[in-house]
């Protein structure tokens, strides 16, 4: 048994027929892969499952995953949960992330949370949170082991998609023997690693490459505090095509790459007065500590925060000021 809570979740599943499984807001490959892996396993158990997501799926290149088209975009403020007996939430640290609504009132059905974010607020009735898992995909692999599930090729593809998505193809620190061993087992079960990498990392629209160029052109290095940052105002973001996922992908690229820096921040004003910042650590400095001070969350190496209600300049200044103050505080010890 990998997790004590696995059993509790399994017996809850066994006691119901109709289950909703979520993809979080602006779902990434781990969210989508995990949801589809669980969808397959629950369907094989004879459950009626609905896959729900508050956003449109921008990761069209993941359409190689079985049942990809079954993910429904819903409005959580209007959705009728009474048709389900259980909601299983994956890869989401809070209701805000699940629903894309900041003051969401939880539905009146049981909720089980399976997640790997250290900032998870344990907002379900049952919470299986393992912050040492690289991805929800990896976590689910262990849960499926606990459940005695035989992993077929489709499930293996979905799980490996989550792992490869959240580890930058096994490159991020914290990706160790356990993860690589699981990945090896998934390959033996028929998962196609090369296809997954091709679809996640090597199928980038040229418009996106141009957006990356803009972010790189605008980047500045704070040599004193050792970080790189770049910020794109809404008007320019719109001109460049309002590309969902652009911020995260370029944050991975410059945030974790630039010599002489500890971390990087890419800020994009996605809507007027709605700025989202992605933080990426290069040297292991815990960027989730920084985002948490601004009301956000995430992991040691990758974290984020959304600032609403401020003009672009004020929001950027707020992020930079807080970051610089935190670094100075830490230096003073």
Would you say 22 or 135 has its CB closer to Mn ion? 135
Choices 91-99, 176-184, 208-216, 221-229; region in contact with Mn ion by CB under 5 A: 91-99
Q: How far is the CB of 31 from Mn ion (least distance, A)?
A: 6
Rounded distance, CA 79 to CA 151, Å? 32
Cα separation, 159 vs 321, in Å, equals: 39
Among residues 23, 30, 296, 301, which is the contact residue for Mn ion, using CB under 5 A? Answer: 30
Cβ–Cβ under 8 Å, residues 132 and 39: no
CA 217 to chain CA centroid, Å, is 26
Per CB under 5 A, the segment of 28-36, 72-80, 92-100, 218-226 that binds Mn ion is 28-36
Cα separation, 266 vs 279, whole angstroms: 7
- Check residue 138 for interaction with Mn ion (CB under 5 A): no
| Phi (first) and psi of residue 123, to 5 degrees | -95, 5
287-296: burial string, b at 16+ Cβ within 10 Å, e else: bbebbbebeb
| Contact call for residue 91 and Mn ion (CB under 5 A) | yes
The burial class, CB within 10 Å (0-12 / 13-18 / 19+), for 322 is: middle
> Rounded to the nearest 5°, which phi and psi values hold at 303?
-150, 170
Q: Residue 241 CB: number of other CB atoms within 10 A?
A: 13
Query: 168 vs 233, which CB is nearer to Mn ion?
Result: 168
Residue 181 Cβ vs Mn ion, minimum distance, rounded to whole Å:
19
Which stretch, 22-30, 214-222, 272-280, 287-295, contacts Mn ion (CB under 5 A)? 22-30
Q: How far is the CB of 30 from Mn ion (least distance, A)?
A: 4
State which residue has the least CB distance to Mn ion: 30
The interface region with Mn ion, picked from 7-15, 92-100, 159-167, 269-277 by CB under 5 A, is 159-167
Least Cβ distance, residue 212 to Mn ion (angstroms) = 22
Is 96 a residue that touches Mn ion (CB under 5 A)? no
Nearer residue to Mn ion within complex by CB, 100 or 222: 100
Beta carbon of residue 303, minimum distance to Mn ion (angstroms, whole number): 12
* Closer CB to Mn ion, 114 or 232, in the complex: 114
Chain-centre distance for alpha carbon 230: 21
**Residue 166 within binding range of Mn ion, rule CB under 5 A:** yes
Which has the closest alpha carbon to 65: 79, 54, 51, 75? 51
Q: Which residues make up the interface to Mn ion (CB under 5 A)?
A: 30, 91, 135-136, 166
């Amino acid at each position: 048994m990998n997790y004590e809570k696995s059993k509790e979740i399994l017996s809850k599943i066994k006691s119901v027929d109709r289950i909703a499984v979520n993809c979080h807001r602006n779902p990434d490959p781990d969210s989508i892969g995990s949801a589809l892996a669980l969808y397959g396993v629950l369907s094989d158990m004879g459950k009626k499952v609905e896959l729900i997501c508050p956003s449109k799926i921008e990761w069209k290149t993941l359409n190689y995953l079985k049942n990809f088209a079954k993910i429904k975009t819903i409005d959580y403020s209007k959705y009728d949960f009474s048709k389900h007996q259980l909601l299983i939430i994956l890869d989401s640290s809070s209701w805000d992330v699940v629903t894309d609504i900041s003051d969401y009132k939880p539905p009146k059905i049981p909720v089980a949370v399976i997640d790997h974010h250290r900032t998870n607020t344990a907002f379900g009735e049952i919470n299986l949170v393992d912050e040492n898992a690289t991805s929800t995909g990896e976590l689910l692999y262990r849960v499926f082991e606990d459940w005695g599930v035989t992993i077929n090729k489709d499930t293996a593809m979905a799980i490996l998609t989550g792992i490869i998505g959240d580890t930058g193809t096994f490159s991020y620190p914290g990706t160790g023997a356990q993860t690589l061993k699981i990945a090896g087992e998934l390959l033996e079960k028929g998962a196609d690693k090369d296809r997954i990498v091709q679809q996640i990392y090597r199928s980038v629209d040229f418009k996106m490459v141009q957006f990356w160029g803009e972010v790189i052109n605008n980047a500045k290095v704070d040599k004193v505090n050792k970080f790189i940052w770049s910020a794109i105002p809404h008007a320019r973001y719109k001109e460049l095509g309002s590309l969902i996922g652009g911020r995260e992908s370029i944050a991975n690229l410059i945030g974790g790459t630039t010599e002489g820096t500890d971390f990087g921040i890419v800020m994009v004003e996605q809507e007027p007065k709605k700025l989202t910042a992605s933080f990426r650590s290069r040297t292991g400095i815990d960027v989730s500590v920084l985002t948490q001070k601004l009301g956000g969350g995430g992991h040691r190496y990758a974290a984020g925060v959304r600032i609403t209600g401020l003009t672009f300049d004020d929001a950027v200044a707020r992020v930079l000021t807080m970051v610089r103050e935190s670094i100075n505080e830490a230096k003073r010890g």
